[in-house]
Amino acid sequence: MPRVAFSRQMDAPTNSQSSRTVQEATTALPPAEVFSEAKRFFGRQSGVYSAFIEQEGPTHITLRGQGGEEIVIGTAVTGGATRVTASSYLFDQQIARFFSTLPPLPQTIADAIAASSAKPSPVTS
C-alpha cells in the first residue's frame, strides 16, 4: 500500500500561554511592601507552588520555584500608585492570585492616573 503524505497547518492553541506569561497590576502599596507581600505569599504556598527569593533589588525581585522555575516581579511608582509587573512561565495562576491580594488604588488616585494618561502629550519641534 502506498504511503500518503498529509500536510496540515496546525491551529493556534486556544489556551495560549504567551498571553499569561507577563501580568500587570496597580496597587496603593509602596514597592518594598509589594516585595514583602510577594515573599510571604510565594513562601507559604504548598509543595510545587512555593518559590523563594533568589535576587533582590530596589525595583525587582526574582523568586525560584519548583524545578528551577523563575518568577520575576518588578515595580514602578507612577503618580502615587505602584505598577507591579510579574512574569513566569509556569506560575501564571499563582501570580494572578498574588495580584488579587494587593490592595487596590483609592478611586481618586485611579481617576487622576487615568486622566493624566488620556491627555495628549505636547508636540515640540
Q: Where does residue 65 rank: exposed (0-12), middle (13-18), buried (19+ CB within 10 A)?
A: buried
Per-residue pLDDT at 82 exceeds 80: yes
Which CATH number goes with the domain that contains 91?
3.30.310.80
How would you label 27-48 residue by residue, b for 16+ Cβ within 10 Å and e otherwise?
bebebeebbebbbebbeebeee
Within-domain flag for 86? yes
| pLDDT bucket at 80, cuts 50 / 70 / 90 | confident
Average pLDDT over residues 60-72: 93
**Inside any domain, residue 14:** no
- Answer with the residue of higher pLDDT: 26 or 2: 26
- Per-residue confidence at 50, pLDDT binned at 50, 70, 90? very high
Higher pLDDT, 15 or 112: 112
Q: What is the reported pTM?
A: 0.74
Q: What is the pLDDT of residue 125?
A: 56
Is residue 9 in a domain?
A: no
Q: Which residue range is the domain that position 95 belongs to?
A: 22-105
How many folded domains does the chain comprise? 1
